[in-house]
């Protein structure tokens, strides 16, 4: 089942979109795209763009549009970037009436497709909508090889918004991680509690690589630097 972002969309940027993470990540992604032939002013589609947290870091270099499944996340993005085009679509079967020079899917969002079959379907859709010599950059949501169960703890302490965040990251069954959000949100003197569990596919490195190559892309780089969260696989559509 699809994990909705209805409640979280209203405070996603405050809690998750931090310049100290998004700026270096975007800078490295741009460097990688450029190294693999993506020129300035190319058409870039940001997949699972969410609230558009990465968008401001890419608009100087590319013609950017976004795609996401969540109406709520897209509503936030559209409000922030009224001049850009957004598509509502599912990674596994999206069909946008345009093709792109580059597509990126960051912060492990590909994991939300949950199954290896869906991962392979998503890579086929990505390959189908890339122009010849186009590049896809996908950041895995951890891999089976690297996964560790953990508790994530964080907080926001702004004058008019306080958030206390704890997230349980646990293996639910082979190949599926359950992340349970526990968010306490304080505004004025009110405190609300949001709890939600989402399921994320835990794919192996080989699952990612074979999905990419079987979709017709050529693996041109695997990037493992910590500035791009999760690292990145870059696939190029070398044949027309
Ligand atoms: C954790 S958020 C990350 C958003 C953004 N990539 C970022 O780094 O800020 C995951 C996003 O993936 C989107 N998503 C989940 N499943 C999806 C799917 N099957 N197709 C398209 N988007 C999906 C959610 O709606 C959400 O906006």
Q: What is the DSSP annotation of 140-204? A: -S--TTT---EEEEEEEEETTEEEEEEEEEEEEETTEEEEEEEEEEEETTEEEEEEEEEEEE---
Same domain, 53 and 164: no
Burial 44-72 (b: 16+ CB within 10 A, else e): bbbbbbbbbbbbbbbeebbbbbbbbbbeb
Q: Is the CB of 111 under 6 A from ligand 1?
A: no
Q: Is a pLDDT exceeding 70 seen at residue 24?
A: yes
Summary mean pLDDT of the chain: 96
pLDDT, residue 240, reads 61
- Domain span holding position 50: 8-143+203-236
Same domain, 51 and 115: yes
pLDDT digits (tens, 9 = 90+) for 56-75: 999 999 999 999 999 999 99
| Residue with CA at minimum distance from ligand 1 atom 15 | 112
Same domain, 95 and 164: no
What CATH number does the domain containing 191 carry? 2.20.130.10
Q: Is the CB of 90 under 6 A from ligand 1?
A: yes
Q: Is a pLDDT exceeding 90 seen at residue 239?
A: no
Q: Is a pLDDT exceeding 80 seen at residue 103?
A: yes
In a domain, 2, yes or no: no
Interval 179-203 mean pLDDT: 97
Top mutation candidate among 4, 68, 105, 228 for ligand 1, by most atoms within 8 Å of CB: 68
pLDDT, residue 149, reads 98
Nearest to 161 by CA among 118, 191, 131, 135: 191
In a domain, 211, yes or no: yes
| Residue with CA at minimum distance from ligand 1 atom 4 | 50
pLDDT, residue 4, reads 86
Q: Which tokens sit at 100?
A: 């792109």
pLDDT, residue 2, reads 57
| Whole-number Cα distances in Å, 185 to 52, 149, 156, 167 | 22, 25, 9, 14
Q: Is the CB of 5 under 6 A from ligand 1?
A: yes
In a domain, 110, yes or no: yes
In a domain, 3, yes or no: no
In a domain, 183, yes or no: yes
Nearest to 45 by CA among 32, 58, 34: 58
In a domain, 54, yes or no: yes
In a domain, 1, yes or no: no
Same domain, 51 and 99: yes
pLDDT, residue 201, reads 98
The total number of structural domains in the chain stands at 2
pLDDT digits (tens, 9 = 90+) for 203-214: 999 999 999 999
Same domain, 53 and 123: yes
Nearest to 223 by CA among 135, 149, 148: 135
Top mutation candidate among 1, 13, 69 for ligand 1, by most atoms within 8 Å of CB: 69
Same domain, 18 and 126: yes
Nearest to 45 by CA among 33, 36, 37: 33
Same domain, 163 and 217: no
Same domain, 63 and 163: no
Same domain, 60 and 115: yes
What CATH number does the domain containing 13 carry? 3.40.50.150
Cα 189 to ligand 1 centroid, rounded to whole Å = 31
**Atom from ligand 1 closest to the CA of residue 72:** 25
Same domain, 59 and 92: yes
In a domain, 193, yes or no: yes
| Residue with CA at minimum distance from ligand 1 atom 25 | 70
Interval 80-101 mean pLDDT: 97
Same domain, 138 and 102: yes
**Atom from ligand 1 closest to the CA of residue 105:** 6
Top mutation candidate among 58, 112, 118, 129 for ligand 1, by most atoms within 8 Å of CB: 112
Q: Is the CB of 232 under 6 A from ligand 1?
A: no
Q: Is a pLDDT exceeding 80 seen at residue 146?
A: yes
Same domain, 37 and 106: yes
């Amino acid at each position: 089942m699809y994990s909705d972002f209805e409640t979280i969309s209203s405070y996603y940027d405050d809690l998750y979109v931090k310049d100290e993470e998004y700026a270096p990540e975007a800078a490295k992604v741009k460097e990688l795209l450029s190294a693999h032939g993506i020129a300035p002013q190319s058409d870039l589609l940001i997949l699972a763009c969410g609230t558009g947290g990465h968008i401001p870091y890419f608009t100087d270099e590319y013609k950017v549009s976004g795609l996401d499944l969540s109406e709520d996340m897209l509503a936030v993005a559209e409000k922030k970037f009224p001049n850009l085009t957004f598509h509502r679509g599912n990674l596994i079967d999206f069909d946008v009436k345009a093709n792109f020079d580059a597509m990126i899917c960051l912060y492990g969002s590909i994991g939300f497709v949950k199954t290896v079959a869906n991962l392979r379907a998503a890579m086929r859709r990505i390959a189908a909508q890339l122009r010849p010599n186009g590049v896809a950059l996908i950041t895995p949501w951890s891999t089976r090889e690297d996964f560790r169960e953990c508790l994530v703890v964080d907080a926001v302490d702004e004058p008019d918004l306080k958030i206390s965040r704890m997230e349980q990251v646990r293996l639910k069954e082979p190949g599926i991680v359950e992340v349970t959000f526990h968010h306490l949100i304080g505004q004025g003197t009110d405190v609300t509690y949001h709890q939600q569990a989402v399921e994320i596919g835990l794919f192996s490195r080989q699952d990612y690589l074979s999905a990419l190559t079987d979709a017709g892309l050529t693996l041109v780089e695997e990037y493992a630097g910590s500035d791009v969260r999760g690292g990145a696989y870059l696939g190029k559509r070398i044949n027309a």
